[in-house]
Amino acid sequence: MAKKTPQFDYIEPIGARVLVLKDEPKRETKGGIALPDASEIPTITGRIVTISRQVEHDENVPLRQYDKILFHPKNAIPVDFEPDNQLYVVPVEDVVAVFRRKPIENGKDPD
């Protein structure tokens, strides 16, 4: 009898970490020039899918679910959750920027 592989529905990062869906690598320049695969421009941006409980309750870490971030990929851990995915567990200290339309005031959205 073959063993059945368990299927997981959810990934929860532990500690000061976030789960990020990495953006697709750029395949052409802003001017529209197509790049061969060997010279792709590496992307280190992505969207936060899930944040850990520690990050959620830390008022000093201004990260929220669905934020678009810039992160340092050195310590990012790839997650083999689905075929062809781009999920990574990223330590909070490796998140170097958050893209926002308006700044957060007093820890709350201005909207």
Residue 108 lies in a domain: no
CATH at 78: 2.30.33
Q: How far is CA 1 from the centre of its chain?
A: 39
Q: Could you report the per-residue pLDDT of 1-54, keeping only the tens digit for each?
A: 566 656 667 788 999 999 999 887 666 666 777 666 655 556 689 999 999 999
Which CB contacts under 8 angstroms, 24+ apart, belong to 95-99? 95/18, 95/63, 95/69, 95/70, 95/71, 96/70, 96/71, 96/72, 97/69, 97/70, 98/62, 98/63, 98/67, 98/68, 98/69, 98/70, 99/45, 99/67, 99/68, 99/69, 99/70
How many structural domains comprise the chain?
A: 1
Mean pLDDT, the chain, rounded, equals: 81
Residue 46 lies in a domain: yes
What is the pTM (predicted TM-score) of this model? 0.71
Range of the domain at 49: 17-25+39-99
Nearest to 18 by CA among 58, 65, 60, 62: 65
Instruction: Decide if 8 contacts 81 (C-beta within 8 A).
Output: yes
Residue 21 lies in a domain: yes
The tokens for 47 are 């969207």
**pLDDT for the residue numbered 84:** 72
